[in-house]
Chain A
């Protein structure tokens, strides 16, 4: 089954403790992206990747890192999480960049709470 898999689904952590949210897709998609969803703000893009070893900042990249060493994986790293990073996170992928008429496929989300 074609899908985007995120883990974990829920995560509670404390300020400053490094964490990684994994994202994997099995559709051989070139484009992958991370979003955060906050009430009243919709989805805001954190980082995106056009292909292996090619990543770029989205609208809210501060406090986050990503890597794209393999085509299928695009982990999101929070080196020193802070409470303002408490949010619902989504990974998404598409065959080609979504602004060029491509459908985005989303993971089920990761609810992160930073205490």
Chain B
């Protein structure tokens, strides 16, 4: 079974600074990878997904993620964050066609 590790439970950054949220998964077999975002008091929304092809995936709100098969990683990046990016971010990997396995979440806090 797949497992997902998000290495940082909290990431504080200053506004307009770059940010990287780290995600590693357990298996190197072909998988689908996802990042979801949860804004305060809301459900999760899909930010981006990797299926195949280019290893750099672009998502909504200026986020992008890079798939690295050899390191089994799928880190999320944004070159310049805004206050509105304050949220919890979840990495997820397909464990089977029927389910996704989610990581523990990373709380991104943007300081003015």
A58 interface contact, C-beta 8 A: yes
Contact of B99 among A40, A41, A58, A90 (CB under 8 A): A58
Contacting pair A103 B43 (CB below 8 A):
no
The total of interchain contacts (Cβ-Cβ below 8 angstroms) comes to 66
Q: Contact check: which of B44, B94, B102, B105 meets A99 at CB < 8 Å?
A: B94
Are B90 and A99 in contact (CB-based, < 8 A)?
A: no
Cβ of B56: which chain A residues have Cβ within 8 Å of it?
none
**A4 and chain B: residue at smallest CB distance:** B43
Q: Tell me whether B99 and A45 are in contact (CB under 8 A).
A: yes
Neighbouring A residues of B90 by C-beta, 8 Å:
42-43
Interface string of A80-115 (1 = CB under 8 A from B): 000000000010100001111101101111000000
Interface size class of B (residues with CB under 8 A): 20 to 34
A107 contacts B99, C-beta separation under 8 Å: no
Besides A4-B43, A42-B105, A99-B98, 19 new A-B residue pairs in contact (Cβ under 8 A), listed by A number: A35-B102, A40-B9, A40-B104, A41-B104, A42-B103, A45-B100, A58-B99, A90-B43, A97-B97, A97-B99, A99-B96, A99-B97, A101-B51, A103-B49, A104-B36, A106-B44, A109-B41, A109-B42, A109-B43
Q: CB within 8 Å of A: which residues of B?
A: 4, 6, 9, 32, 36, 41-46, 49, 51, 90, 94-100, 102-105
